[in-house]
């Protein structure tokens, strides 16, 4: 595996080694020791699987009191995956980084706790699997507006399909006490 830390500290692009032949392929998607050697000591406690139609934008989501680090990969289709640093005391507060993840390139993105997460489906549909470092708690879930101009994400769609909640999430500057330190 190749681990590349992106422009925001702790956000890591992971490129697995793929062994393929006429039968198909094999790859490791997680190896605790290799991840630890790359600075990712996360313990994953929950795995989720979502399917999204084309042009769907999900996010930005995070949990306040029980933050989740996430290891994200795509098993069908393609997404543009985005992490936003929402830690109020961070020198990179409000900055974002994105990566193209697809079933074809088999890349993964590790997003540590303290970041909001979102993605846009860049294919007709996409299936995303992500492991989390903490359990999902609906009462703890928060969100930031997907197109907050202060963050300035360049999404690969101008006409996204959004959930009702994602359409009205607050801007980062209005989230106040609902942001992690």
Q: Give pLDDT, residue 94.
A: 97
In DSSP notation, 133-180 reads SS---GGGEEE--TT-TTT----S-SS-B--HHHHHPPPGGG-GGGS-
Residue 138 domain boundaries: 2-178
Beta bridge partners of 4: 13
Annotated active-site residue in 61, 62, 107, 110: 61
Predicted structure pTM score: 0.96
Q: Give pLDDT, residue 177.
A: 86
Q: Which CATH number fits the domain that encloses residue 174?
A: 2.60.120.10
pLDDT, one tens digit per residue, over 124-170 is: 999 999 999 999 999 999 999 999 999 999 999 989 999 999 999 99
Structure-token pair, residue 172: 């980062």
Q: Are 119 and 80 in contact (CB under 8 A)?
A: yes
Q: Give pLDDT, residue 99.
A: 98
Q: Are 120 and 56 in contact (CB under 8 A)?
A: yes
Beta bridge partners of 49: 129
Q: With a cut of 50, list the residues of the chain below it in pLDDT.
A: none
Q: Give pLDDT, residue 176.
A: 87
Annotated active-site residue in 62, 107, 117, 130: 130
Q: Specify whether 49 is catalytic.
A: no
Q: Give pLDDT, residue 181.
A: 83
- Quote the number of domains for the chain: 1
């Amino acid at each position: 595996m190749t681990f590349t830390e992106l422009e925001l500290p702790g956000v890591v692009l992971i490129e697995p080694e793929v062994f393929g032949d006429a039968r198909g392929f094999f790859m490791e998607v997680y190896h605790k020791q290799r991840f630890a050697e790359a600075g990712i000591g996360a313990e994953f406690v929950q795995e989720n699987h979502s399917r999204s139609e084309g042009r769907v934008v999900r996010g930005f989501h995070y949990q306040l009191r029980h933050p989740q680090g996430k290891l994200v990969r795509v098993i069908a289709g393609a997404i543009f995956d985005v992490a936003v640093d929402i830690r109020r005391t961070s020198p990179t507060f409000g900055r974002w980084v994105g990566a193209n993840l697809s079933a074809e390139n088999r890349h993964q993105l590790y997003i540590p706790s303290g970041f909001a997460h979102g993605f846009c489906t860049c294919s007709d549909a996409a299936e995303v699997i992500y492991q989390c470092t903490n359990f999902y708690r609906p009462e703890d879930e928060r969100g930031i507006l997907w197109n907050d101009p202060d963050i300035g994400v360049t999404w690969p769609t101008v006409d996204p399909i959004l959930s009702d909640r994602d359409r009205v999430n607050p801007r980062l500057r209005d989230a106040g006490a609902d942001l992690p330190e």
